[in-house]
Amino acid sequence: MFVSDLFADMDKFMDSGGQVLWAIAVLLFVMWTLIFERIWYLRGTVSSDIGLAKSSWQNRSDRASKRARQVREKLISEVGLKIDQNVMMIKTLVALAPLFGLLGTVTGMIVVFDVMAYTGGGDAKAMAGGVSKATIPTMSGMVAALSGVFGLTIVEKNAERKKGVLENSLNMEQ
């Protein structure tokens, strides 16, 4: 009973926001999937990548020459690329969320203007559907962007911390 009511309310909300709201929902799903993937990687698999780089560095007999410094930078870059994977895509999706909301605003206002053209602008009740289609996607796009900024901040802070751990583990003096 509760689940069916939840889906009915969700369907009503999505209908009141128009088609753009579905696009925002897909964007939000993809964005948070990438965020959770990065969090999962940074809390687990990155340790083995750092360990492989560290063991590769420690297996070198020469750690002080110019060539050794280049090898160290290569190891740091390779793991750094893995750490930063999908971060730019997440940033792009965060930036797109308010733009999708703006698209919803424009499409909702078109509905309002169509109603005004047919009714002469005197029927506020008829315009309410268009106003709803204009404001709900705007709000949803902003909420999606804010939640993405929150998730992106967590990912970036963890990524920087892991890069610091990597650099510290590949000391030149070891």
Task: Note the Cα 101 to chain centre separation in Å.
Answer: 15
Burial readout 44-80 (b: 16 or more C-beta within 10 A, e: otherwise): eebeebbeebbeebeeeeebeeeeeeebbeebbeebb
Task: Note the Cα 173 to chain centre separation in Å.
Answer: 39
Rounded to an integer, the average pLDDT of 83-89 is: 96
Beta strands (DSSP E) in the chain are none
Which pLDDT score is estimated for 174?
47
140 and 24 Cβ atoms separated by less than 8 Å? yes
Q: What is the mean pLDDT of the chain?
A: 89
**pLDDT digits 0-9 by tens, 45-80:** 999 999 999 999 988 888 888 998 899 999 999 999
Residue 26: partners with Cβ closer than 8 Å, 6 or more residues away: none
101 and 143 Cβ atoms separated by less than 8 Å? no
pLDDT confidence of 110, banded at 50, 70, 90? confident
Within 10 angstroms of residue 118's Cβ, the number of other Cβ atoms is 10
Residue 157: partners with Cβ closer than 8 Å, 6 or more residues away: none
Q: Where are the domains of the chain?
A: 18-169
Give me the residue label for tokens 């160290």.
72
Residue 130 has pLDDT above 70, yes or no: yes
